[in-house]
Amino acid sequence: MLFRTLPANTLGRDFVVGDVHGCFDTLGLLLGQVDFDPERDRLLSVGDLIDRGPRSWQVLDWLAQMWLFAVRGNHEQMAIDYDASDAWRERYARNGGEWFMALPPAQQQRYRNVFAAMPLAIELPVGNRLVGLVHADCPEDDWVVFQARLASGEGVACSNGQTVLHEATWSRERIRGQVRARVAGVDLLCVGHSPVSLARQRDNVLYVDTGAVYGRQLTLLCLQEMSVHSLACTESACVDE
């Protein structure tokens, strides 16, 4: 299932977390800071739960929690694809995938199966708003078109020739200043992928990756209150962005 729709949370709060990159101790502390209640609240991840940070191996335990909903990021995709060629192996090694590459093949396949089952997009109603999540950006700035393309498979081509998978997990055009439009069909789109110093919005796209693994901070956004909560991360890795 490449596109997932969640029902409204009528019991508690919905929190969106930026790229965790294996910094799960910091995530646990931040959830404590906001009094996260697993019986009522939900945690929504914009992807890149793994690589670079020290506890990437814990990701399956987190993804098994009934209150965590995550889209697939480019790092989960790199784990899926890492042995496609020598170039892909080298790329993944440079980007924090050594922990995964050191695992026995059977263990690697266990992780890959879970990552491949992660959707590329999630939507949910929050009050009178429709909120979307994708790792990098919405192809062609149209949520409904994006959903339709995903229904045909992640390898479907967009108008720029890239696959919908590539655009959803790798695109940085908007954050780098290319003129784009508001994403039609959704009120707010939460993304990660591109580290920013503070959570900030461009068009109706909100960037919530605040570079935790680079010694900065991990950020949570409460969708009901539109409040931002951050915690400095000490689980940093010395890896180029």
**Residue 126 falls inside a structural domain:** yes
The helix/strand/coil state of 207 is: strand
Q: Find the catalytic residue in 75, 135, 166, 229.
A: 75
Q: What is the CATH number of the domain that holds 214?
A: 3.60.21.10
**Residue 74 falls inside a structural domain:** yes
**Residue 240 falls inside a structural domain:** no
User: Residues of 126-143 as b/e, b for ≥16 C-beta within 10 angstroms?
Assistant: beeebbbbbbbbbbbbbb
State the 10-residue block means of pLDDT for the chain, 241 residues long: 97 98 97 98 98 96 98 98 92 95 97 98 98 97 96 91 95 91 97 96 97 96 97 71 39
Do the beta carbons of residue 234 and residue 55 sit within 8 Å? no
H or E segment and range at residue 125: strand 121-126
Select from 202, 192, 234 the least CA-distant residue to 217.
234
75 is catalytic: yes
**Residue 241 falls inside a structural domain:** no
Please state the domain count of the chain: 1
- Interatomic CA distance for residues 104 and 118, integer angstroms: 22
| CB contact set of 42 (below 8 Å; sequence gap of 6+) | 6, 9, 12, 13, 14, 15, 67, 68, 69
Tell me how far CA of residue 199 lies from CA of 74, 126, 216, in angstroms. 20, 19, 12
Q: Please tell me the pTM assigned to this model.
A: 0.95
- Interatomic CA distance for residues 125 and 111, integer angstroms: 30
**Residue 239 falls inside a structural domain:** no
What does the pLDDT read at residue 236? 62
**Residue 121 falls inside a structural domain:** yes
Whole domain around residue 165: which residue ranges? 3-232
Q: How many CA atoms lie within 13 A of 121 on its CB side?
A: 29
Select from 55, 51, 48 the least CA-distant residue to 207.
48
- Interatomic CA distance for residues 38 and 84, integer angstroms: 38
**Residue 107 falls inside a structural domain:** yes
What does the pLDDT read at residue 179? 86
**Residue 102 falls inside a structural domain:** yes
The helix/strand/coil state of 176 is: coil
Residue with tokens 């209640």: 37
